[in-house]
Amino acid sequence: MGGIRVLVSGANGKVGREIVKGILAEPTLKLVGGAVGSQHGLDEDIGVLVGQQPVGIKLSPDLLVPLLAPEQRLWWTLLDRQPSWTI
């Protein structure tokens, strides 16, 4: 599945859950992660959290966890102390 990859901060909140539902329903978007501000839903599948089928993405307590996951192909290289990345 292609599309624009989206990470939702606050995915366990009222508005965040609605955003997740919208992303899951939109074929031009690909949900790649969700970060939470509270412990509610932590490590729960984001699809189940919003009342849908599991999507294989667990909520994280930190935005960097889903960003740095190997399957997201985000690589950091230090060049002259300047981070660069490839998506």
69, two tokens: 């996951």
Q: Which residues contact 24 (CB under 8 A, 6 or more apart)?
A: 31, 47, 50, 52, 55
Collapsing DSSP to helix, strand or coil, 61 comes out as coil
What is the pTM assigned to this prediction? Answer: 0.72
Asked if 39 and 14 count as a contact pair (C-beta separation under 8 A), the reply is no
pLDDT number for residue 75: 45
Return mean pLDDT, the chain.
77
In the predicted model, what is the mean pLDDT of residues 19-42? 85
Q: What is the pLDDT of residues 49-62, one digit of tens each?
A: 999 999 998 888 87
- Residue ranges and CATH numbers for the domains of the chain are 4-86 (3.40.50.720)
In the predicted model, what is the mean pLDDT of residues 73-82? 44
Of the pLDDT bands very low, low, confident and very high (cuts 50, 70, 90), residue 25 is very high
